[in-house]
A and B are shown apart, each in its own frame.
Chain A
């Protein structure tokens, strides 16, 4: 613990750790000092000069070095002639800070008046109106009328697109540089800058393509005026019309806490729609940030036109039909569930499957889950605590694309002094912050991990780490590969099992794969064979869309029951089945119901309903319970809270977990939200629960896996491996119309420039990939960091790749030329 410093602020005694800035010390005792440039997540710069206060310091006698005392025996204070910026000044012993004197407030008023001379005062048409720090501060401190002649205001451009997601209003910008500093210091993507100087200073980007950062949306939250706005919310609604609903992002395993802002809209027939997603503070998960995928694709898919709906009567009869099929099939039924379901859904599903004697599989290409349940992070962990002395190993994962907030958190950990080791076959954005970058060839993942301890410095860093966290992903790997990789990684942490801030994290592609694993689900190694001739019940998964082999298998299934929120290739396949052999059940989206997800860090978090469920849809756990009931098996279908009680009672890892517990909050620092807004921005304070991390259950894994034999392509073949891109053609992303350009940019196969050259290809040219005898056209993208024998194929685009395979490549020859 740092030394405590005693001081007084407006007469109030305060004790805070050494090094605390006055502005923060004041905040801790509920004294708001107005700020614009200062943000508690960033280093102070003292630019805006809004936070001026009077500071008195004890007079020290030169000769004795002792404080000079007044007639009452109190230390005499010396006040400087000037006001000082409280955001740049650390506290010191005996300090006396005055924030509310005439002098201090006069200074604050004067700065505000100056600031307003450059502001257009267009609050009536400003998106930030109603939640604007500048507005609030003007109300509290501002001059009643302006001495500045409005006509002399400098005109500047409005509605400037900085990229396709963020717009800038140059007139409103107050040059606090929060956005620039966020991009430089926190995101590590310095794509915003000031241009010109003095009163002409402007925010610009010269980068290509524009303001393109995975974290760009956060700048709109911390912008203290309405200068930066998101393309989706601009002119969308007034903040005071919005109702808030707490939720958890469903786009990746990080589980960022978010708030959905909702209002009724004529366009939606008077119904509720989500207007925007914003981060909700959880310092142990996402702090006060979220990524653009979460913001711009996080809920949008739940409002897609292709939502599955049934009228109530039809739903009932469809459920009966499904129940009849499953009751008939009994142990001949196979359940297949995707990681988008909630814990409660998975629990009910598993109970039902066990009751029928049916097999229940998790639909994923990412294996090794048995190790993350046994050796995953345990209670008391917080990536935000990692720093000097700790080691983080990232293997076969491109966190920037797969789980952006983890990328951010590990970057910060490295900057705090943690040893970051990144092992991958290609360059990833995290390399820049790592102490060691290990580059292996695709296929050598497991060998590489096994060899780590033998490397001098890296071995030391792993063995001697105070804390060791390992992230493993599926970059270039399929199910078998990831399972073996998990096993190799687990060996490095087995001894640390159960210790906070130690453990193995799977970088899953869905928000709740970890929950499914905890509930006993596992993937099947040979799914196509498993499905043949069976009665298949598929939930939140699109096997037919992902894999032609699975589509074939499904076509030969006895019955296909698909439960989802959106139309997919699989629902279409079911619809196309002969009468009675294909059944489609419409599920409610997670924005329309309650539930919990278990994040990759094994944190169970609640999401709350933001909008009412669409008529003719029900939450998955309820649909499952209704079908089960029709099969004569009672399951809890009334509320997820009750399901969670059952989970807690029956699943060791969940013991002690309850909805009440999940809703608990403890004080978080920095204090954001509340009424002032100017301090932390417009992100939301967390009043709905910080979640609970599951206890680890070491020792539940039998035997570790051995490596799979690496594939060796033939002379005229390339080694094709799957990778994950942030924005892809997945069902939950494509409906986000704003992201179309981003999706398109990544839509292609990736080659080393030399390989491309060999095939007569260049960046952007068209090629064909021949995979299992099928020809797929694809755009070529280049990456110098990969080796020449490989081609990277992004998942969820056009080419169905599950695992490393040998492919042939050719330049696309246009029909007429051929």
Chain B
């Protein structure tokens, strides 16, 4: 139950808006914090907190690409391959990442650590190649990347995990 897990944060979120419903997005991020995806029970809980129907909450989850309704790797590595990045070699970068990680886009490494995803422009076009790592409700940018630097990062994430 989110209400028991994050009472203070929920209070702070509610204080932000004059209309309850606005809290749905921050609450969904909370719901995604632990498992990296949003379970139906959380949607239900959020719905009842906001006096909405659960379908109204689900409709929000479904619309935005940074909310996930299915489990994936602990870290979602989201590489931008949009035009400006592609002009600076993002497609090649992605290709060799796939080779190095041994997975295709959309797949998760066998240890369940990293899911490789392709995303649209992240707002870091001058520092391509770049990706962000989505970890629950947190996001971190990794810019001016090389395949080597990326593999080092993956190693570090793995270590931190153990």
Contacts and interface: CB of A to CB of B under 8 A. Distances in A.
Interface of A: 189-197, 202, 204-208
B68 to A, nearest CB: 12
A680 to B, nearest CB: 26
Contact of A190 (B43, B53, B61, B62): B53
A558 to B, nearest CB: 57
Given A206-B40, A206-B43, A197 B63 contact: yes
B65 to A, nearest CB: 9
A195 B53 contact: no
B55 A206 contact: yes
B56 interface: yes
Interface in B59-92: 59, 61-63
B55 A190 contact: yes
Contacts of B52: 190
B63 A196 contact: yes
22 contacts: A189-B53, A190-B56, A191-B53, A191-B55, A192-B55, A193-B55, A193-B56, A193-B59, A193-B62, A194-B62, A194-B63, A195-B58, A195-B59, A195-B62, A195-B63, A196-B63, A197-B63, A204-B58, A206-B40, A206-B55, A207-B54, A208-B54
B63 A206 contact: no
B70 to A, nearest CB: 13
Interface of B: 40, 43, 52-59, 61-63
A207 B43 CA distance: 10
A193 B61 CA distance: 11
A206 B38 CA distance: 13
Given A189-B53, A193-B56, 7 more contacts: A190-B56, A192-B55, A193-B58, A194-B62, A196-B62, A197-B62, A206-B40
Contacts of A195: 58-59, 61-63
Contacts of B53: 189-191, 207
A405 B53 CA distance: 22
Nearest to A205: B55
Nearest to A432: B51
A194 B54 contact: no
B1 to A, nearest CB: 18
A189 B53 CA distance: 8
Contacts of A193: 55-56, 58-59, 62
A208 B55 CA distance: 9
Contacts of A189: 53
A207 B52 CA distance: 11
B127 to A, nearest CB: 28
Nearest to B61: A195
Highest count of chain A CB atoms <10 Å: which of B58, B61, B62:
B62
A189 B55 CA distance: 10
Contacts of B58: 193, 195, 204, 206
A592 to B, nearest CB: 41
Contacts of A204: 55, 58-59, 62
B52 to A, nearest CB: 8
A208 B43 CA distance: 12
Contacts of B57: 206
A330 to B, nearest CB: 61
A631 to B, nearest CB: 60
B55 A207 contact: yes
B74 to A, nearest CB: 24
- Which residue of B40, B56, B59 has the most chain A CB atoms within 10 A of its CB atom? B59
Contacts of A190: 52-53, 55-56
A196 B53 CA distance: 17
Contacts of B40: 206
A196 B56 CA distance: 13
A207 B54 CA distance: 6
Instruction: With a 10 A CB-CB cut-off, give which of A193, A194, A196, A204 has the most chain B CB atoms.
Output: A193
A595 to B, nearest CB: 41
Contacts of B59: 193-195, 204
A729 to B, nearest CB: 29
Q: Which of B55, B62, B63 has the most CB of A within 10 A?
A: B55
A504 B57 CA distance: 41
Contacts of A207: 53-55
Contacts of A205: 55
Nearest to B56: A190
A219 to B, nearest CB: 14
